[in-house]
Homo-oligomer: A and B are copies of this chain.
């Protein structure tokens, strides 16, 4: 226990590891941000408040996350990693060991719920939030994989993107303000999925 060679985990895809103080601040900031969001809602959390709560200067927040939207993306990524784990290695039908169609169905349902749950964060993250975050990449790749397993041919990459596009927070918000409830959205999405997979 004296000098255990407990390396700082130089895992594969890491982006040239942070200095220890930087890493500590990142963690503290994420933690503070989450606490403040829980306390007063996403809208009312200011960058100053997050900085003060974490006991660092405001410059540090922007150095770490680039912008308010960036901070929100970081919070999202944190929240979504648990969900991703469920997809990759959780119990069926969302996880492996279920027929691909069942997985796709569960995936869509689950994705919809997650999106609505994190609606405020997603809106605050803006363009950076719903798109270009690692989250989207994961979603699209997984759907791509399932579609292939279901025998879909053609430009599967684009079909996967198209299949997930109607579950973006923007579209869902629009549908909801027009009085379309979640259950109907899910049904419509399953219909779409069936048509893409080719039920004939």
| Interface positions of A (Cβ within 8 A of B) | 123, 126-127, 130-132, 136, 154-155, 157-159, 161-162, 165-166, 168, 170-171, 173-175, 177, 180, 184-185, 187-189, 191-192, 195-196, 198, 200
Beyond contacts A158-B175, A162-B165: 4 other A-B pairs, Cβ-Cβ < 8 A, are: A154-B191, A159-B192, A165-B168, A165-B171
B200/A170 in contact, CB under 8 A: no
Dominant secondary structure at the A interface: helix
* B residues near A123, Cβ cutoff 8 Å: 127
A130/B170 in contact, CB under 8 A: yes
The CA of A97 and the CA of B29, in the complex, are separated in Å by 60
* B residues near A198, Cβ cutoff 8 Å: 195, 200
